[in-house]
Amino acid sequence: MPFFQLLAQSCTSPADSLGGAAGPTSGDFWQQQLRFPRVRVAQAGTGPVVADRLRTHGLTPQRLEIFLRLIKTNRELEVWARNQGARSFKLLHRYPLAATSGHLGPKRRAGDRQVPEGFYEIDRFNPQSDYHLSLGLNYPNAADRALGEPNPGGDIFIHGGEVTIGCLPITDLGIEEVYLLAVTARAAGQTVIPVHIFPFPITETELAKHATSFHQAFWRELMPGYTYFEQHHEPAHY
């Protein structure tokens, strides 16, 4: 299988109107999440902010799809969103990272304090996280297993708080918003929530600044996915 295809493999309604009847299981997913106190508190306190942001951008919770992107040098988690059936995503909000660890380059082994780079998706909702709330990434994916060491590590999350040893902390308030957006999208029927992580904007100009890096070839493998989204505001599918 071509290397870039390996990289791409990862890959009752609340009162404030975030929830809704998008399908036969949407209410079930909301009810499952609302069994947890932190989700209920987030829904009551942060939910109206999220609902208002969606309305401002012309987005309907019952049709919501989201896409997450991190460019490490920007130190922000970007949340893009669209209604189901729309051709492209539009930027909804940026959430500053509260802390970072490691250096530019992919994660290759357990304990290296690196944030992964590549194409991932949300595979876990953790409403009882040690860091308030958290969303798990499907690291290691096929590319990580092919290129990493025998023990590539795991348990990479977008979470609350302000500390990290390889995860993406966006403060408790930030994760409440992103968590509610992810729950809303999943309840609306989005089974795959993509998360793309890049070291920097992967352009020829930026690559030239890192010409001597050991990771240059790897970053060039990420470049088509970065470029496609920049051009179309739609994640590439392989």
Query: To 5 degrees, how large is the angle CA 84–CA 65–CA 134?
Result: 165
Q: Would you call 140 helix, strand, or coil by DSSP? A: coil
Is 232 considered catalytic here?
Answer: no
The angle, 0 to 180 degrees and rounded to 10, between the axes of the packed helices 37-45 and 47-56 is 50
* Phi then psi dihedrals of residue 26, to 5 deg: -60, -45
- Return left, alpha or beta for 124; rule: phi > 0 is left, psi -120 to 50 is alpha, else beta: beta
Give me the catalytic one of 159, 215, 232, 237.
Answer: 159
54 with 60: CB under 8 angstroms?
A: yes
Cis ω before 169 (30° cut-off from 0): no
* Nearest of 215, 42, 13, 188 to residue 118 by alpha carbon: 215
Q: Would you call 113 helix, strand, or coil by DSSP? A: coil
Give me the catalytic one of 132, 167, 196, 232.
Answer: 167
Is 167 considered catalytic here?
Answer: yes
90 with 82: CB under 8 angstroms?
A: yes
b/e per residue 79-97 (b: at least 16 CB within 10 A): bbbbbeeeeebeebbebeb
Active site residues: 159, 167
